[in-house]
Amino acid sequence: MRLHPTDATPTKGPTMPELPEVETVRRGLAPAMEGARFHKVEARRGDLRWPLPKDFVQRLEGQTVEGLGRRAKYLLADLSSGDVLLMHLGMSGSFRVLREAGESTPGKYHHERGKLIAHDHVVFHMGNGAVVTFNDPRRFGSMKLVRRAELEQEPLLRALGPEPLGNAFDAAMLARACRGKKTSLKAALSDQRIVAGLGNIYVCEALHRARLSPKRRASTIATRSGAPHERAQGLVDAIRAVLNDAIKAGGSSLRDHRRTDGALGDFQHNFRVYDRDGKRCPTSGCGGAIRRIVQTGRSTFFCPVCQR
Ligand SMILES: [Zn+2]
């Protein structure tokens, strides 16, 4: 896996996988897991970010994965027992899938994922012969079993806002959520209660596409009564476009992998502003240069000329 060309930039640490990466992982894991039974499960340590349930292995072995879904940055495997296996990649988590055809690492990452066997913490041996390994050097990832009937009360999911690619997310909803908010647009869009699954990278990218400044007050996408300003619609469209493009790029990386035996993640990220401090703004006719500022402790990349 090749590193991003500017990986030596000292201004940032590893980035948390965002919605498109997690969705790509889901699509990569689905063929190995959906409809397959957990034949044998190895939990090589008792904890990731949090302790694994004591009966983790027993509750998985023998169960069939009826579907593999996603909510924000969580993967949700629906099991035949009525349990749901919740999985989160954290900062450094990744999956490898070993099948007869070869090995793959579904997902695209801005930073290289771990490869040391010592960090292979959980291994699923599926009844169809696939071996799915979770590797996580920093152990901020997590796995948890929740009864499907109790999923709506699950604390990790309960407070999440709507899915940005779902029907519940639209200009009216976003304007209502931002009405009267004195925080910046950057902070509002990063708030998982307002919209789920966006992180630093795609918030920066979406704001650039919408030509809105990350420093703009969140309340300015709504009228005083809370109705959506036209900026709200532009922002919703930009968020959807940025995510769909990234998912498409991730999907093509999965397809490429089937054609060749190259490592996954070895393809270009086409970020317009993220990590492009000092580079020329890609908006046609703009001529501005991308700047980096720090907002609520995180780097924001934007063009001060065309983002207002
Ligand atoms: Zn610009």
CB 32 within 8 Å of CB 127: no
| Residue 226 one-letter amino acid | G
pLDDT band at 91 (very low <50, low <70, confident <90, very high): confident
Catalytic residues: 17-18, 73, 298
Residues in the chain: 308
Is pLDDT at 67 greater than 50 in this prediction?
yes
Cα of 215 vs centre of ligand 1, distance in Å, is 15
Cα of 188 vs centre of ligand 1, distance in Å, is 22
Q: What is the pLDDT of residues 233-269, one digit of tens each?
A: 999 999 999 999 988 887 666 654 443 322 333 334 6
3-state SS of the chain is: CCCCCCCCCCCCCCCCCCHHHHHHHHHHHHHHHCCCEEEEEEECCCECCCECCCCHHHHHCCCEEEEEEEECCEEEEEECCCEEEEEECCCCCEEEEEECCEEECCCCCCCCCCCCHHHEEEEEEECCCCEEEEECCCCCCEEEEEEHHHHHHCHHHHCCCCCCCCCCCCHHHHHHHHCCCCCEHHHHHHCCCCCCCCCHHHHHHHHHHCCCCCCCEHHHHECCCCCECHHHHHHHHHHHHHHHHHHHHHHHHHHHHHHCCCCCCCCCCCCCCCCCCCCECCCCCCCCECEEEEECCEEEEECCCCCC
Q: What pTM, to 2 d.p., does this model score?
A: 0.86
The distance of Cα 140 from the centroid of its chain, to the nearest Å, equals: 14
Cα of 208 vs centre of ligand 1, distance in Å, is 8
Cα of 273 vs centre of ligand 1, distance in Å, is 9
pLDDT band at 302 (very low <50, low <70, confident <90, very high): very high
Q: Which residue has the higher pLDDT, 265 or 118?
A: 118
The distance of Cα 247 from the centroid of its chain, to the nearest Å, equals: 10
Mean pLDDT of the chain: 87
**Among 96, 182, 95, which Cα is nearest to 141's?**
95
Cα of 12 vs centre of ligand 1, distance in Å, is 23
**Among 43, 208, 199, 196, which Cα is nearest to 109's?**
199
Q: What is the pLDDT of residues 160-200, one digit of tens each?
A: 999 999 999 999 999 999 999 999 999 999 999 999 999 89
Please compute the mean of the pLDDT values over residues 26-43 and round it to a whole number: 95
pLDDT for position 254: 62
